[in-house]
Amino acid sequence: MALPINTDVSHFAVVSAMITPAFFLTATSSLLSTSNARLSRIVDRMRLDIAELKHPERGESRGDLRGRIALHRKRSRLVLASVRLLYGAVTAFVGTSLAIAIDSVLVWHIDLLPLMLAVAGVLLMLVASICLGREARMALGMLEADLDRQLERNDATGNDGDRR
């Protein structure tokens, strides 16, 4: 005996439409995960520089250390801004799925709401990605400055860095 299951095609269309924002949620959660890891690394490096500022060991000038700490602060603010934007994107994508479900069940004809929420989520992801790109550029600049300082230090001491 066959079970009386309603296999109306429109239900599958609604479920399919609700699943689509999940792909954006996956991308957003991946960016959130890497952003949180980046923020953690920035904070760790800033704490090391603060500790070195209190007890200088390598003979770095306090001005250099303060400059690096200031750059760490700017980087952390950029990453934190991107994390906030990404959480906003998650909210928008979840709202998109809910709006699709509510529109199909209650027939409120709010078909623009899911579209607006999805566009808002994508725009939030775009701005967050721009912030992360700026932070990555700052990180690369800091790395290059650290390498230049180390090379100058090696040149001054006659050490070429080879350990054979």
In-domain check, residue 133? yes
CA 31 to the chain's CA centroid: 5
Q: What's the pLDDT at 133?
A: 96
59 falls within a domain: yes
Range of the domain at 119: 24-153
Report, as an integer, the average pLDDT of 14-22: 75
Number of domains in the chain: 1
Q: Quick check: is 161 in a domain?
A: no
pLDDT for residue 3: 47
Confidence of residue 164 (pLDDT cuts 50, 70, 90): very low
Give the whole-angstrom CA distance, residue 42 versus residue 79: 9
Model confidence over 143-163: pLDDT tens digits? Answer: 998 898 888 888 877 766 555
The answer as to whether 41 is a domain residue is yes
DSSP 9-52: HHHHHHHHHHHHHHHHHHHHHHHHHHHHHHHHHHHHHHHHHHHH
For residues 128-149, average pLDDT: 94
Q: Is residue 7 part of a domain?
A: no
* Positive or negative: CA dihedral 70, 72, 74, 77: negative
3-state helix, strand, coil in the chain (%, to 5): 85, 0, 15
> What tens digit of pLDDT does each residue of 52-88 get?
888 876 667 788 889 999 999 999 999 999 999 999 9
pTM: 0.79
- CA 76/CA 68 separation, integer angstroms: 12
pLDDT score for 78 = 97
| Per-residue pLDDT at 50 exceeds 50 | yes
Give the pLDDT confidence of 87-123 residue by residue, as tens digits. Answer: 999 999 999 989 888 888 777 678 789 889 999 999 9
Name the average pLDDT for the chain: 85
For residue 2, pLDDT beyond 60? no
The whole-number pLDDT of residue 65 equals: 86
Query: What per-residue confidence (pLDDT) applies to 52?
Result: 87
Q: Is residue 113 part of a domain?
A: yes
6 in a structural domain? no
Domain-embedded: residue 48: yes
Burial class (CB in 10 A: 0-12, 13-18, 19+), 38: buried
